[in-house]
Amino acid sequence: MANCEAHVVTGHQGTPHVSASDAGFFNAGIVGLERYVLNTSEKLRAEFSGNTVTIYPGDLVDQGRHINLPEISTIYIQNAPAGYTRYDAIVMHYARDLEGVETAQLQVIQGTPSQSDPGYPSISVGDIYSGDVFDNCDLYYVLANEAGIMSIETSAAFIVISPLSDIRGALKDNTIDITLATGSEQYAGWYYVDLPLPRNNPSAISVVSATSNRPAFVQLVNRGQARVYCNQANVAVTIRCLYCTL
């Protein structure tokens, strides 16, 4: 059997060994593999006036790369030709140069003017995991006419993800504990009772406690019913239903 050595990323090795790629894969494993805005600072919110879009501070993760916009940034949008409208995209552009230096900056990708129905501009994207040296994360689409900016839309890729603390709170608020007594019916030596669930499709269901710590377990029978088992009849068993709504 081949001896395949693994890389202990968060371990001391005596020499510098942790790369941006290591950190990127770790971030992606926790946050997700795509492009996300973090619930920090002002979450890259945008305002516009005249020909100027203002982007407020925030953080995003682009395929594991954590990118921070520390200060308010202003972006100028050119007028469309007279009688035309045009969509421009505001993107966070990621790049890696020949020396391996990685940078990111806000950029405008200008669309094609139209007299009736302008479309979004085409945006080139890269696969950072596979070694691509660029990517564009579209944040906003700006509609402009000959006088300036008409409106601004949030991109479908602009996904603000909830922190783990919010998810924990949501899970905690959606637990339902039920105590019931096992019946006299037996299956394979176990006494059981059927339980209609208060809500269909729990994310998880488990035994919390049983009288005198008797062995007990619970199984889902279908979307709205569970069966609780114990090795003795008429034992009080508490089960917990977890419903995740995020």
pLDDT per residue, tens digit, the chain (246 aa), is: 567 788 888 888 899 988 888 999 999 998 889 999 999 999 999 999 999 999 999 999 999 999 999 999 999 999 999 999 999 999 999 999 999 999 999 999 999 999 999 999 999 999 999 999 999 999 999 999 999 999 999 999 899 998 877 776 666 657 778 887 888 888 888 999 888 888 888 888 888 888 888 899 999 888 888 899 999 888 899 988 887 665
Classify 64 in phi/psi space as left (phi over 0), alpha (psi -120 to 50) or beta: left
Name the helix (H) or strand (E) containing 186: strand 185-187
CA geometry: angle at 238 spanning 237 and 242, to 5°? Answer: 140
Q: Which of 139, 134, 59 is nearest to 101 (CA)?
A: 134
Q: Which two tokens stand for residue 118?
A: 């302008």
Contact 59, 182 (CB under 8 A): no
Going from the C-alpha of 221 to that of each of 35, 105, 194, 227, the distances in angstroms are 38, 53, 9, 6
pLDDT value at residue 105: 98
Indicate the CATH number for domain 20-161: 2.60.520.10
pLDDT value at residue 246: 52
Output phi, psi for 167, to 5 deg: -65, -40
Domain range annotation of the chain: 20-161, 165-242
Supply the pTM of this predicted model. 0.71
